[in-house]
Amino acid sequence: MTNNKIDIESYKNSMIGHLGITFYESENEDEVKATMPVNLHTCQPFGYLNGGASLALAECVAGHGSNLLCDAESYAVGAQVSANHVSSVPVGQTVTAIGKIIHKGKSSHVWNVDILSETGKLVCSARIVNFVCRK
């Protein structure tokens, strides 16, 4: 991975930290893995994972992945996110997001992020476009 300047500690004071998102080491730069608890911060009033929290998780995973791919003179910002929510997850469980880059261009990255339940069931599938900007 080309960018060693990402300060994971700074995530604590961002949406990533507030939602309880945790990133895990990946074996290759084309994949990012993270988990998020389904709790009072990420659920809707009926006690299930909020679709907006799923979108936030997907965009955070894709953004983290794109920024890992950027050199020291660039950074990535979200441009578009779309998703399909296909199943629910109750409060008390944890979801896992697996992001895979499907286009790695000089000015944009496209990611597919699948969010899975603890049993491996697909919860949400999202497509994220990030723009790569020069500092």
Residue 16 lies in a domain: yes
Closest-CA residue to 29 (of 55, 77, 68): 68
Element (DSSP H or E) covering residue 108: strand 108-116
Which of 25, 27, 59, 118 is flagged as catalytic?
A: 59
C-alpha 98, offset from chain centre:
8
- The total of other beta-carbon atoms located within 10 Å of residue 29's CB is 14
Q: Output the domain CATH number for residue 40.
A: 3.10.129.10
Q: How many domains does the chain have?
A: 1
Beta-carbon contacts of 13 under 8 Å, excluding residues fewer than 6 positions away, are none
pLDDT band (50, 70, 90) for residue 2 = very low
- The total of other beta-carbon atoms located within 10 Å of residue 83's CB is 17
Tens of pLDDT along 68-111? 999 999 999 999 999 999 999 999 999 999 999 999 999 999 99
Radius of gyration (Cα) for the chain, nearest Å?
14
Domain residues for the domain of 42 are 8-134
Q: What is the mean pLDDT of residues 39-63?
A: 97
Residue 26 lies in a domain: yes
- Would the pTM count as exceeding 0.85? yes
Q: Is 118 a catalytic residue?
A: no
Helices of type H across the chain: 15-18, 51-69
pLDDT band (50, 70, 90) for residue 5 = very low
Residue 2 lies in a domain: no
pLDDT of residue 25: 87
Residue 73, burial from CB neighbour count under 10 angstroms (0-12, 13-18, 19+): exposed
